Structure formats: structure tokens, C-alpha cells
Chain A
């Protein structure tokens, strides 16, 4: 990061340190995040995240409810990527109970989670651009997201929190003409994606605000346990879809985009490229979707025994679920790995030495969802 000499430093004056409290109500903290900052003029000396404003007892609830009752709560942890959260939970249960999922259901899950990635990245794109002052991009991104939500609503009945996956499959089959509708959407979406690049990517202001800002090196990212686009932007080619394939990801060849500098700009580019890859994956899925049942055989009486660990690549990174059963039909313990929680710890590294405005860019670029951080 370029050394920033404030006017005080040029004049050889030392200013006093200032403690500034940002949040929990702040337009660019993406929810109820509070950042405690120590400033020297415009320069950030330290930025510490204070979380817990949205703690909603998810893990405790998961112990108290029946397994199928937990699925709606997984939606509400990361409410921008509900399908992928449901997926990791049902995968964990299916692994423990050794339930076979029919191929059609696998494909529906696969298509839906890739569409979910597009929807989530779209929202991130809009809000990130808005954090940097580009309001138009926000409105454009929402336009496309609404159309995608229409598809989700037609399939699952809800716009955001679907409660769609079931242990052993999915609740209902997709509607007639699903393939054509999605294909039409994807065709339009590809055009729009170009529009976004024209609008934002080459924009000089955007580049200055993001390039070289909020740098995380590959070593730091690995040491903190980062995953997803944040890790890949630092140049580490790691994706759970490749490293530990689930659903039908091993059948398809797709690219894992990486960056080099680990700055906000690279994180932006990585996510934009991921949307392109998701489009390809959805197309593959639509072409190969077999006919058949969407629910597998699930025993009437469920007995959870032993423990298991399931993980997937959500739009934000590696989400994992550790599930312990004690022979009853409820989880004895459920532990959730949240990528956002990890990435939030990187905030200090990103913000240190930068300007206050860069702190906003850094928060935006890690794409946090407080529901997932606090659970």
C-alpha cells in the first residue's frame, strides 16, 4: 500500500490519536457491525470489529428442534445464500444417515446453488459499488436480481428464504419450462454482465478506490483461515468445489478464478469472473438434468449416531457443518463454520495504514453477512 503522507506529517506536526466508533447503524457496514477505529487524522491505525449484534442462538436452536425444523434456521444464517446453507446441513444429515439422493434432486440442488451464487454476487456487486459511490450500479444489479428471484419464487415459493431442500432430496420438482426460463435469463444476464464491466470495471474512480487497497497476502489469508473469493483474490487456487467435490461438481470442468494482489480490486474481479463460471455450470446442469424422482428413501424413524463434517463452497467461502448425534432424532450438537466470521478478522490487516474511506471499501469487498458472522 502506498504510504500516505498527510499534511500534518509534511509539516512535521503530530496530531492526536482519535477513537471513532463506526456502527452498528452505519450505511456501509452491511448490517449491524460495529467497527472500533483508532485514527490519526484520516489514517486508520487500527480497526477492530465488534460483533454479536445479531446473535440469534442458531446452534442452540439446532439442538432443540427436529432435524427438518432446523432447515429454515439454516436459511436465516446467511440469508443471501439460503440454498447453499440448507445444502450443507442436509448434506451433513444425509452423510450421517447414509441416505441416497436421487440424481435429479442432485442436479436441481446443483443448478439452484449456482443460481444462488449469481444472486448473492449480484447483491454484493450492487452494494459494493454503492459503498464506493456508484448508485447506478446498485439499481442495475437489483434489476437482474429481481428477475432471478422470480425464478426462485416459481420453484420454491419464496423470494429469499426458501426452505426448499429436504433431507433426501428437494421438496418439489421444478416447474414445467424451467430450463427455457433459466436459459433465457442466462442469455440476458451475460449481456448485463458486460454492461456492468463497462459501467464499473474500467472506471478510473473505481480503480483508484480499490487497487492497492485492503491488501491481504496469501500467507496472511491462509494463516487466518480465509476461504472463497477472499482467499482466491490473494492468489491461492483453492475451491471446495474442486478440492472436495460434492453434488456433481466433479463431472464438469470449470475455472477457479484467482487474483494476484489480494486487494479490493482483485476480490471484485474474482467475483465477477465467478459469475461467468456459474453461468456455464448452470448451462451444463440444465443440459444434463436427468428425469426421475426428487426425493430419496428416508427412514421414518431417524436415529442420528456418530458425528460428521460436511463442507461446501458458498458464495462467501467455505461453509461447513459439524453434526453430532447421540442416538436420538435430534442433533446433539451442531457447529457451523462461517467464512464471514473469519474474513472479518482480516479487517484490521486490510484497514491498517489506509484511509477511512479505504476501510469502507475493505468492508464492502469481503462481502460480510452479519447473520452468518453472529449466527
Chain B
């Protein structure tokens, strides 16, 4: 798609640099292993035997400094909120965030209670929202595919600059 095959030089393709970079970025989204609440169990299920995240080139990392993607699977309360921010800040650009489940989107079943932050997007920017309580593994995978589409459309300039 969009590739130009050279007839006189077989085996060589030309492709816009942007597409090559985006293709490699979206194909190896290493995600941060950060289980917060019930949704984390479904996140683990998506990574485990049946659903198998590895197919998408997604491997969990224990350190934010090695990860590209932060899946926020759970309720954000006042005490964890600044930790989430710290973890996000520790991740290197380019980085993406998926808000998984009602709680991370807007507080979900706990919306409006004391001590609850109504949505993780009040703390860090979110790229894809995956609704559900908890979202099924299929839903999370769909969210990842959406994120891949989004990444494929991105430009080459630094994301931080693009946001500012």
C-alpha cells in the first residue's frame, strides 16, 4: 500500500519516512504493567493465553521508562492520581494512553463519590477510551486497533510540540 516497487532493483521498496516510522511505532506498543482495579484483571486476561496481546507486538513492561503505552485499567482516586501523573511523566515520548473501563473514563460506577477522580483525563491526556465495566478483552483489543489507526495518521513532528 503506497509502496513503490522498483522494477530494475527488485527487493527494494520506497516508502515515505513518516509511514515507516508510524508502522514500526504501532507494531510494537509495549505497555506498562499497571494494574489498578477490576479492569486490570481483564487486561491481564487480554495478555494471557486465550487473547494473547503478543500478536499485536504488545509486551508488558514493568518500568514506565521502557513503555510506549499506558493502559489505565481502574478507578483513579485522589491518592493514586498524582502517581499516575508521575508514571506518565516518566514515560518517554512518543507515548499513548488508553483509558480502560468506565472508571478511567469518567468515574464509572463511582462517578461523583468523594475521593474519586472522575476520569483519568483530568490528570493525563487520553488517546482512546474503551467503555465497559469491565470491558471484555475483545473490546480492549479493539481499542488497541483504533490506537494503531490513530498512530498511522500521525505526523513526524514531536508529539509534545503538536499538543502544545
Please report the C-alpha to C-alpha distance between residue A140 and residue B42 in the assembled complex, in whole angstroms.
16
Q: Are A161 and B116 in contact (CB under 8 A)?
A: no
**A309, CB-defined interface residue at 8 Å:** no
Task: List the A residue with the shortest CB-CB distance to B47.
Answer: A142
Task: List the A residue with the shortest CB-CB distance to B35.
Answer: A31
Task: List the B residue with the shortest CB-CB distance to A142.
Answer: B48
8 Å CB contact of A54 from B32, B33, B45, B77: B77
For chain A residues 122-147, which have a beta carbon within 8 Å of chain B?
A: 123, 126, 138-140, 142-143, 146
Task: List the A residue with the shortest CB-CB distance to B75.
Answer: A56
A160-B41 contact given A25-B87, A61-B113, A139-B49, CB 8 Å threshold:
yes
Chain B hits for A343, CB < 8 A: none
Chain B hits for A138, CB < 8 A: 48
Chain A proximity of B30: nearest CB distance (Å): 14
Q: Are B113 and A60 in contact (CB under 8 A)?
A: yes
Chain A hits for B62, CB < 8 A: 26-27
Q: Are B41 and A57 in contact (CB under 8 A)?
A: no
Binary contact track B19-60/A, C-beta < 8 Å → 1, others 0: 000000000000011111110111011001110000000000
Task: List the A residue with the shortest CB-CB distance to B34.
Answer: A25
Q: Are B38 and A371 in contact (CB under 8 A)?
A: yes
Chain A hits for B131, CB < 8 A: none
Task: List the A residue with the shortest CB-CB distance to B48.
Answer: A142
Please report the C-alpha to C-alpha distance between residue A370 and residue B40 in the assembled complex, in whole angstroms.
11
Task: List the B residue with the shortest CB-CB distance to A79.
Answer: B38
Q: Are A371 and B114 in contact (CB under 8 A)?
A: no
Chain A proximity of B86: nearest CB distance (Å): 9
For chain A residues 154-197, which have a beta carbon within 8 Å of chain B?
A: 159-161
For chain B residues 57-113, which have a beta carbon within 8 Å of chain A?
A: 62, 64, 74-75, 77, 79-80, 83, 87, 109-110, 113
**A72, CB-defined interface residue at 8 Å:** yes
Please report the C-alpha to C-alpha distance between residue A24 and residue B33 in the assembled complex, in whole angstroms.
11
Q: Are A24 and B83 in contact (CB under 8 A)?
A: yes
A55-B36 contact given A76-B109, A146-B49, A160-B134, CB 8 Å threshold:
no
Chain B hits for A371, CB < 8 A: 37-38
**B133, CB-defined interface residue at 8 Å:** yes
Chain A hits for B35, CB < 8 A: 30-32
Indicate the member of B37, B83, B115 with the most A CB atoms within 10 Å.
B37
Chain B proximity of A127: nearest CB distance (Å): 8
8 Å CB contact of A146 from B34, B45, B80: B45
Q: Are B77 and A56 in contact (CB under 8 A)?
A: yes
A55-B48 contact given A61-B113, A76-B38, A161-B38, CB 8 Å threshold:
no
**A80, CB-defined interface residue at 8 Å:** yes
Q: Are B116 and A53 in contact (CB under 8 A)?
A: no
Chain B proximity of A133: nearest CB distance (Å): 13
27 contacts between A and B (CB under 8 A): A25-B32, A25-B87, A27-B62, A30-B35, A31-B40, A32-B83, A52-B79, A53-B36, A53-B77, A54-B36, A54-B37, A56-B75, A56-B116, A57-B114, A60-B114, A76-B109, A79-B37, A126-B48, A142-B44, A143-B48, A143-B49, A143-B50, A146-B45, A146-B48, A161-B38, A370-B37, A371-B37
**Chain B residues within CB distance 8 Å of chain A:** 32-38, 40-42, 44-45, 48-50, 62, 64, 74-75, 77, 79-80, 83, 87, 109-110, 113-116, 133-134, 136
**Chain A residues within CB distance 8 Å of chain B:** 24-27, 30-32, 52-57, 60-61, 72-73, 76, 79-80, 123, 126, 138-140, 142-143, 146, 159-161, 370-371
Going nearest first, the 5 A-B pairs with the smallest beta carbon separation are A142-B48, A79-B38, A27-B62, A57-B113, A143-B49
